[in-house]
Structure 1
């Protein structure tokens, strides 16, 4: 069983500029089949933008996703961990702050992300959450097709 976040994290992260539009971020999420991007400037993490942030802080408020910036709707200064953080401490932070993902940073620079699914796969590989986290992504229909 892994003891540190670096052993279970997803090492690749997608980043967007603070002034990038929400549409740009959503398109990147779709292209990479991910649910979040890091908002960063000069390699320094400023915030995390999730698909839920886009829905609740942009679309639900009726703002134009073509003109609103990622920085305007992201979660600024997110709870984060270092690569050598104990996995148990990461779980505690997720519970305490009710978050599903924690950026993994070193010196302010994003290295990866650890998600509740990553931790479930490590700590309880037979759980339903671990099964879901391992599952292949849904194949969404292409634009113009019907469901």
Structure 2
């Protein structure tokens, strides 16, 4: 059975401690790519907050609580050519909605082995430098401002 096309609406969730150490996870399909939690909506009707909660749990085993913050920001970017086949013909751009999740230092991480092979906690500036995605790095650089509001 073929998989349905991905919906070009996704979330990016910057997971961080109170000291602004950021969780990065390494993609299984691109070992040089470190990133925050990302994922697409499962259905058009799925609420973006529900997408964020689901993706965080699926990718890290972390249950979202009150620390999940919707930044009310989005990025629109061209889908990388190697991943265009996952989307309907003619779909070339994705809209990514930004969230952050504050967790206590030492929060255990349980990776979904098919998607990610390693994780690391880095100070926010180092995490931004380590990200392969410019929009992910930019979100991490905005983290101190959003964390202060929460």
Higher strand share: 2
Q: Same fold (TM over 0.5)?
A: no
Larger RCO, structures 1/2 (Cα 8 Å, 6+ apart): 2
Question: Is the radius of gyration larger for structure 1 or structure 2?
Answer: 1
Tell me the TM-score normalised to structure 1 length: 0.25
More helix by share: 1
